[in-house]
Amino acid sequence: MKGFCSVFVFLVILGSVRGDLKMGFYGSSCPKAEKIVQDYVSQHIPNAPSLAAALIRMHFHDCFVRGGPFWKVPTGRRDGVISVASEALAEIPAPFDNITVLIQNFANKSLDLKDLVLLSGAHTIGISHCTSFSNRLYNFTGVGDEDPTLDSEYAANLRSRKCRTQNDSTTKVEMDPGSRNTFDLSYYTLLLKRRGLFESDSALTRDSNTLALINQLLQGSLKNFFSEFALSMEKMGRIEVKTGTSGEIRKNCAVVNS
C-alpha cells in the first residue's frame, strides 16, 4: 500500500488547505487526481485478498460495471494529528460484540440500525481468521462448548475443515462461503440459516428490529441493496472528517508529522 499512500500524499500536497469535503476537490489543483488513484487501485488491488482491499476496490465504479454497488467519495479529507492504536481498536465494532454494544458503537458515530445491518452486508465478500470466531466453535462460555446460536452442522464443518484448533491464527475462512467474491444478498440468507460467522453477525438475527431489516433487504432487489448500501457507505465516509485547516496532511500516511 506504500505506493497508494504516496499517490495520496502527492495529491494532497497539491490540494488547497481550505474548503469542505466535496466531489472533485482536486478538480483545479490536480485535475487527474481521482483518475490517477482510481487507475492505481484498479491495477494493484485485484490481487490483494484482504477485505480492506476489497472495500477500497469497491470505492470505484469499475465494480459497478461488473454489477457491484458504487458510491460517491468526496475528496479533500485531511489526516488526524493523534494516532492511538488502542483508541482506534476500541472504536471499531468487534466480531465479538453483542447487539447492545453494536448499536451503541454505531450510534456513537451517528449511524443507525439500518446502517448497522447494511454495512454488515460487506461480509458478503472477503475472508476472516479463525481467531475472530473460533471461541464459538470450541469454548463459547468457557466449558468447552459451542455457541448454540451457530448452526451445529456448519460449526462441525468449520472445526474439521478450517479451524482445527481454537488458537489457529493463520487459516483463512470465507465469510460468505460459495460467493465470497460476489457482492450479493447471500450473506443475509446465511444469517437466517444461523451461519453468520461472527457473534456480531448472529446478533443481528436475534433483535427484532435488525431482523426485520434483514428480511426487508432479502425481499427487495439486489439493486435496492446496492443503493441502500451505497447510502450507508457515504454516511460512514462523512464521520468526523477533517477538512479545511483542521488536522494535517501527513508526509507519511502511517505516522503523525513530527
- Positions marked active-site: 61
Only one residue has cell 454489477, namely 67
**184 in a known ligand binding site:** yes
Which stretches of the chain bind ligand NAG, using CB under 6 A? Answer: 91, 98, 100-101, 104-105, 108, 139, 142, 144, 165-167
Least Cβ distance, residue 113 to ligand NAG (angstroms): 14
Q: Is 97 annotated as a binding residue?
A: no
Residue 135 or residue 232: which is nearer to ligand NAG going by CB?
135
Q: Is 207 annotated as a binding residue?
A: no
CA distance 212 to 104: 19
The annotation status of 177 as a binding-site residue, yes or no, is no
Helix (H) or strand (E) holding 55: helix 51-58
Smallest distance from ligand NAG to CB 148, Å: 14
**What percent helix, strand, coil does the chain show, rounded to 5?**
50, 5, 45
Distances in Å between the alpha carbon of 93 and those of 61, 105, 133, 255?
Answer: 27, 7, 14, 23
Judged by beta carbon, residue 149 or residue 227, the one nearer ligand NAG is 149
Closer residue to ligand NAG (CB): 40 or 138: 138
Q: Kindly state the smallest distance separating residue 198's Cβ from ligand NAG, in Å.
A: 14
Q: How far is the CB of 180 from ligand NAG (least distance, A)?
A: 27
Burial of 179 (0-12, 13-18, 19+ CB in 10 A): middle
Query: What angle, 0 to 180 degrees and rounded to 10, lies between the N-to-C axes of helices 99-107 and 113-120?
Result: 110
d(CA 25, CA 211): 39
Q: Specify the DSSP element, H or E, that contains 127.
A: strand 127-129
Residues 203, 146, 52, 112, Cα dihedral to 10°? 10
CB closer to ligand NAG, 165 vs 221? 165
Nearer residue to ligand NAG within complex by CB, 41 or 137: 137
> Which residue is closest to ligand NAG by CB?
142
Task: Report in angstroms how near the CB of residue 170 gets to ligand NAG at its nearest.
Answer: 14
Q: Was 124 annotated as part of a binding site?
A: yes
- Which residues does the annotation place in the binding site for substrate? 93
Residues of the binding site for heme b: 123
Return binding residues.
93, 123-124, 176, 184
Q: Per the annotation, where are the binding residues for Ca(2+)?
A: 124, 176, 184
